Chain A
Amino acid sequence: SQQGEEDPQALSIQEGENATMNCSYKTSINNLQWYRQNSGRGLVHLILIRSNEREKHSGRLRVTLDTSKKSSSLLITASRAADTASYFCATAAGRDDKIIFGKGTRLHILP
Chain B
Amino acid sequence: EPEVTQTPSHQVTQMGQEVILRCVPISNHLYFYWYRQILGQKVEFLVSFYNNEISEKSEIFDDQFSVERPDGSNFTLKIRSTKLEDSAMYFCASREWAKNIQYFGAGTRLSVL
Q: Which residues of A are at the interface with B, using a C-beta cutoff of 8 A?
A: 3, 30-31, 33, 35, 40-45, 48, 88, 92, 94-104
B48 adjacent to chain A (CB < 8 Å): yes
Q: Which residues of B are at the interface with A, using a C-beta cutoff of 8 A?
A: 31, 33, 35, 41-45, 48, 50, 55-56, 89, 91, 93, 95, 100-107, 109
Name the prevailing secondary structure of the B interface residues.
Answer: strand
* Chain B residues with CB under 8 A of A42: 91, 104-107
Please state if B104 and A88 are interface contacts (CB–CB under 8 Å): no
Complex alpha-carbon distance, A66 and B56, angstroms: 29
Please state if A44 and B104 are interface contacts (CB–CB under 8 Å): yes
Complex alpha-carbon distance, A44 and B43, angstroms: 13
Please state if A48 and B56 are interface contacts (CB–CB under 8 Å): no
For residue A60, give the distance in angstroms from its CB to the closest CB of chain B: 19
Please state if A104 and B100 are interface contacts (CB–CB under 8 Å): no
The answer to whether A96 and B31 touch (CB under 8 A), given A33-B100, A101-B43, is yes
Please state if B101 and A33 are interface contacts (CB–CB under 8 Å): yes
* Chain A residues with CB under 8 A of B45: 98-100
* Chain B residues with CB under 8 A of A104: 42
Complex alpha-carbon distance, A41 and B106, angstroms: 6
Please state if A96 and B55 are interface contacts (CB–CB under 8 Å): yes
* Chain A residues with CB under 8 A of B35: 99
Among B44, B95, B105, B107, point to the contact of A97 (Cβ < 8 A): B95
Please state if B55 and A45 are interface contacts (CB–CB under 8 Å): no
* Chain B residues with CB under 8 A of A97: 31, 95, 100, 102
* Chain A residues with CB under 8 A of B89: 40
* Chain A residues with CB under 8 A of B56: 94-96, 98
